Amino acid sequence: MSYPEDLRVLVDGALAELGFSAAAATAGLEEAMRYSLLAGGKRVRPVLALATARALGAEPERFLPVACAIELIHTYSLIHDDLPAMDDDDLRRGLPTSHVKFGEDVAILAGDGLFAEAMRLFCEQPGDPARVLAALRELAAATGVDGMVGGQYVDVIGAQIDAEGLRSLHALKTGRLIAASVNVVLLLEGAAEPETMPYRRFADELGVLFQIVDDILDVTESDEQLGKPHGSDERHGKLTYVSLFGLDRARELAAESHAKATAALAEATGETEGLRRVADYIFTRNE
């Protein structure tokens, strides 16, 4: 079962058309923003949003503003993740990281700009204003202190955590934005609560699966295969699913998480094949 490439193509096309600078003085900032934004990738988060729309019987194209906003936020997080004060990585998606290419000061501003432009873009999403506002609140919460940024904070301070803490950490750092990619579309479509529960369980488990596989790949793949430095977590002394459980058990946990995600999806109404394909890709990815 292949990845939903038609949705990825939609996202890439919409991202390529985005412009951020209306003045010559800030053209260099736009260049830095677009450099990281258009560096490639499977666009897992925006594709999840469009696949959710399709599952609910809506046209994916209508949700491109939201999908693009999600990818802008993800890209901002990658730029800041790679900074010398954070993970200090010099390779991302097979290219020099933003701070290597443009300098640390411009990289910080490029990340800031992408987040702000994501908020603006999200507000252009067609639909009932109350639903758009509720969806924006969901996305902002997934990005902030009770989500991605909070998880990153727990990670960088090197808090002593156990297996439960590791899952909680990554539920914030990685899982919340992945889950929000599904949940914002549920809110925009006004799906009834009973109908949303399987989708929400799927989305929550998918974030766990993504991180387990990411930890596995960090120790099993090369820089060229990953498009970024491998072994980064070990170099920084971070607790991972592999360091905590060992490689074999981490693979078993990934299989269990994939099974839970697909079981939840099996209970959902609608055409969920696209979402299943994304889950399968995350489980089996090697890049």
Phi, psi for residue 128 in degrees, rounded to 5: -60, 125
Closest CA to 265 of 274, 252, 255: 274
Q: What is the pLDDT of residue 287?
A: 40
pLDDT above 70 covers a percentage of the chain that reads 93
* pLDDT tens-digit readout, 51-69: 999 999 999 999 999 999 9
Query: What would the mean pLDDT of 244-263 be, rounded to a whole number?
Result: 95
Which of residues 139 and 231 earns the better pLDDT score?
139
Query: What would the mean pLDDT of 203-226 be, rounded to a whole number?
Result: 84
Length of the chain: 287
Query: What would the mean pLDDT of 248-256 be, rounded to a whole number?
Result: 95
C-alpha to C-alpha distances, 62 to 51, 53, 250, nearest whole angstrom: 12, 9, 38
218 pLDDT exceeds 90? Answer: no
Find the distance separating the first CA and the last CA of the chain, reported in whole Å: 17
50 pLDDT exceeds 70? Answer: yes
For 167, other C-beta atoms within 10 Å of its C-beta total 17
223 pLDDT exceeds 70? Answer: no
Query: CB neighbours of 121 closer than 8 A, spacing ≥ 6?
Result: 18, 65, 68, 69, 72
Phi, psi for residue 95 in degrees, rounded to 5: -125, 160
Q: Is 224 exposed, middle or buried (0-12, 13-18, 19+ CB in 10 A)?
A: exposed
pLDDT grade for 99, boundaries at 50, 70 and 90: very high
pLDDT grade for 193, boundaries at 50, 70 and 90: confident
* pLDDT tens-digit readout, 100-135: 999 999 999 999 999 999 999 999 999 999 999 999
Query: What would the mean pLDDT of 190-215 be, rounded to a whole number?
Result: 93
Angle at 87 between CA 169 and CA 287, to 5 degrees: 80
228 pLDDT exceeds 70? Answer: no
Closest CA to 138 of 166, 173, 178: 178
Alpha-carbon gap, residue 81 to 59, rounded angstroms: 34
Q: What is the pLDDT of residue 23?
A: 95
Which of residues 48 and 155 earns the better pLDDT score?
48
Q: 91 forms bridges with which residues in the sheet? A: 96
Average pLDDT across the chain, whole number: 92
* pLDDT tens-digit readout, 130-181: 999 999 999 999 999 999 999 999 988 887 888 888 889 989 999 999 999 9
Residue ranges per structural domain of the chain: 5-284
Q: What is the pLDDT of residue 38?
A: 97
DSSP result, 139-196 = HHHHHSTTTHHHHHHHHHTT----HHHHHHHHIIIIIHHHHHHHHHHHHHTT--HHHH
230 pLDDT exceeds 80? Answer: no
Q: What is the pLDDT of residue 227?
A: 54
Q: What is the pLDDT of residue 109?
A: 98
Alpha-carbon gap, residue 6 to 191, rounded angstroms: 24
* Tokens matching residue 195: 């109908």
What DSSP element (H or E) covers 95?
A: strand 95-96
pLDDT grade for 233, boundaries at 50, 70 and 90: low
Q: What is the pLDDT of residue 94?
A: 85
47 pLDDT exceeds 90? Answer: yes
| Cβ contacts of 138-141, under 8 Å, gap ≥ 24 | 138/180, 138/183, 138/184, 138/187, 139/69, 139/70, 139/73, 139/180, 139/184, 141/176, 141/180
Q: What is the pLDDT of residue 160?
A: 80
232 pLDDT exceeds 70? Answer: no
Closest CA to 75 of 45, 120, 31, 53: 45
* Beta pairing, strands 95-96 & 91-92: antiparallel
Alpha-carbon gap, residue 237 to 156, rounded angstroms: 10
Enter the pTM of the model: 0.92
CATH code for 5-284? 1.10.600.10
